[in-house]
Chain A
Amino acid sequence: SQQGEEDPQALSIQEGENATMNCSYKTSINNLQWYRQNSGRGLVHLILIRSNEREKHSGRLRVTLDTSKKSSSLLITASRAADTASYFCATVGTASKLTFGTGTRLQVTL
C-alpha cells in the first residue's frame, strides 16, 4: 500500500515556469526522498531530506519538509522540457524499504 498522496496528479506548465508538487505521508519518518521517473521505467533519485531538516536545495530543486503536517513539497524552478516526467516522494521504513506516493505527472511544454 502507498504511504500517501501527491498532488496534483498531473501538472502542465510552460518552459521557464516553476513547478510545485506536494506530498503527504502517514507515519513518522527518518527521511523523505524524491524520485523522477521517465516513461514509466527506471527511477532516478533526486534529493533526500532528513526529518530534522526543513528545507534543502539541489540545483533547480528545492524541497521542504513539514513533519508536523506530514507533508513535503518539491519545487522545480525555471522548468525545461527535459523535466517532463513523473515525480514521486518516498518515505523510508524499516530495512530501507521505500514506500512511494501516488506520483505527479509533470508536462513541460515549449
Chain B
Amino acid sequence: GAGVSQSPSNKVTEKGKDVELRCDPISGHTALYWYRQSLGQGLEFLIYFQGNSAPDKSGLPSDRFSAERTGGSVSTLTIQRTQQEDSAVYLCASSLALGDLYEQYFGPGTRLTVT
C-alpha cells in the first residue's frame, strides 16, 4: 500500500513569506508526527496529532509555526513570515496508534530553503 507522502518535495521561498507543507499519512493511521532536520539542530520533534487533536504544541520552535489535521488524515504545517533559520527538511511520520511500540513510518520530507 501507499506510504506517507509529503508535498512539495522541495520549496524555495523568500524570507518573510508564508509556506504550507502537506503530509498525507498512511490510511488508517491515527497518529501523525512532524519532525525537522537541520544542520545545526539535527532531527527534532515538532508536534504530534492523535486524530485531529494536537495536545502538546511545545515542540514548535516559535509562534510562527502552526499545524492542523483534518478528517483524521491530511496534516498541514504552516510557517508564517519565514526566516532563514527555518531552512530544513521537514519530515512527517504516521503510526497506527499512539504508543511507543507502534512503528512510525516516515515520508520523504520537504526540503525548505528560505532565501
Interface residue ranges, A against B (CB under 8 Å): 1-2, 30-31, 35, 40-45, 48, 88, 90, 92, 95-100, 102-103
Q: Which of A92, A98, A102 contacts B35 (CB 8 A)?
A: A98
* B79 within 8 Å of A (CB atoms): no
Chain A residues lying within 8 Å of B37, measured Cβ to Cβ, are 40
Does the CB pair B103–A103 fall under 8 Å? no
Return A93 CB to nearest CB of chain B, in Å: 8
State the Cβ distance, B10 to closest chain A Cβ, in Å: 11
Q: Are B45 and A98 in contact (CB under 8 A)?
A: yes
Judge whether B56 and A95 touch: CB under 8 Å. Answer: yes
**Shortest beta-carbon distance from A53 to chain B in Å:** 12
A contact residues around B102 at 8 Å (CB): 96
Say whether, besides A2-B42, A43-B91, A97-B59, A48 and B103 are in contact (CB < 8 Å): yes
Question: For the side of the interface on B, what is the size category?
Answer: 20 to 34
In the complex, 5 of the A-B residue pairs with CB atoms within 8 angstroms, ordered by the A residue number, are A35-B106, A43-B93, A44-B106, A97-B45, A100-B43
Asked whether, in the complex, the Cβ of A45 is within 8 Å of the Cβ of B109, the reply is no
7 more contacts with CB within 8 A, not counting A2-B41, A31-B101, A92-B100, are A2-B44, A30-B100, A41-B89, A42-B108, A48-B101, A97-B33, A100-B44
Nearest opposing residue in chain B for A91, CB measure: B100
Report the Cα distance A35→B93, complex, angstroms.
13
Q: Return chain A residues, CB-CB under 8 Å to B100.
A: 30-31, 92, 96
